[in-house]
Structure 1
Amino acid sequence: MRSTISGYTALPKAHKFSAAGLVTVAGAAALTFALVPQASAADVSSVGVKPVAQSAQEFGVTQDGELAKAADKARADAKAATKTAAKAKAGAERANRSTERKALKPAAPAKKAYADNLDGWIQESLDILRAKGIPASYDGIKRNIMRESTGNPRAINDWDVNAVNGVPSKGLLQIIDPTFKAYHVDGTSWDIYDPVANITASCNYAADKYGSMDNVNSAY
């Protein structure tokens, strides 16, 4: 039996189920569209979005490269600093060793001082003669000096045969220029009038000719 309400027509039972199904589907569709932001297909296709995983991967590679460069630079700086420190240490050690050697090295003996007189001249000459292995004694030298020049280092003989021949005897032990040059002793002056040089050359000559100045008792 159908009942009617003003303005409406009753539906058969089968139609009622169909209408209910449509309402359910429509509601689900409405719910689905409500959850998705409203955007056209053109809007979606125009947005260039890289996949998140790819972007993160690229960022990671770039970051690792920069970190690797920084690490390499830090290692290079550390190596350079180590090398510089080692060089400075080596230099300091060399300086210390040099200082230690200087401290251990015995000081050079002070140069012996001699009086500027006949005694001092003979003493200085004797030290040179001993160092050279040339025999002579203080007494033998002084005795011959007093006979030849009376101790005057500027004495010159201008009357004997040597003077006649143009080579006068000169100095404390009256030696001629050619003999002085031939028997000059290294370490002494080349000035024939220098007292020490004159004594030393004369003693060298006497040692060669007579064995020692001690053996000379007259003109030689």
Structure 2
Amino acid sequence: MPSFTLPRAARITRITRTHKIAVAVLAAAGATSGLAVTSAPDTAQAASEHAPAAVKPVDAKGQPAKADDAKTGRAVTASVADHVKVDSVAKQHSAKQAASRSAERPAVKDYPLSIMKDKGIPGSYEGLHRNIMRESAGDPNAVNGWDVNAVNGTPSKGLLQVIQPTFDTYHVEGTPNKLTDPIANITAAANYAADRYGSIDNVDSAY
């Protein structure tokens, strides 16, 4: 078979075409690579976009902290501590005031007894309570509108159901001059019972 050699111009043309194809392939590859690099997210940018929002410091009242507070945190901490301290001091003060008031005034159930003791009127809490519950069921404004005293125009009134003439006679000095006042009613009744029966403790029925 006879050898066939391309003319020089043809060889140049073939090489040129081949070169162009190679260049085109490389260019395409480079473009693809460039696209890949361009489309890849920037690491710093991604970290910035997905980073959690910064937590802004607040003071004890929930308000945004001042610049100095945000930098050091010391002022905010002090504010919370001061708030707790103030609450603690206020509670202690209230407790002391309540204890002081309680110590200054005797218990209600002991008050009539202390007056009776000072005036030399005999009687115990049990005797007073027993008769109060029988006479008025503990109602200081109780009024008997049906017995003989009521018929005579002087109804029995108050915790121990005392009529006005008896109250006026046995009223204990230093107590309110009012028939239905609990302390005045109790002490007057106990004073009357002491004169009539020796003591309110000795009364177990109408007296």
TM-score by length of 2: 0.50
Structure with higher Rg: it is 1
TM-score by length of 1: 0.47
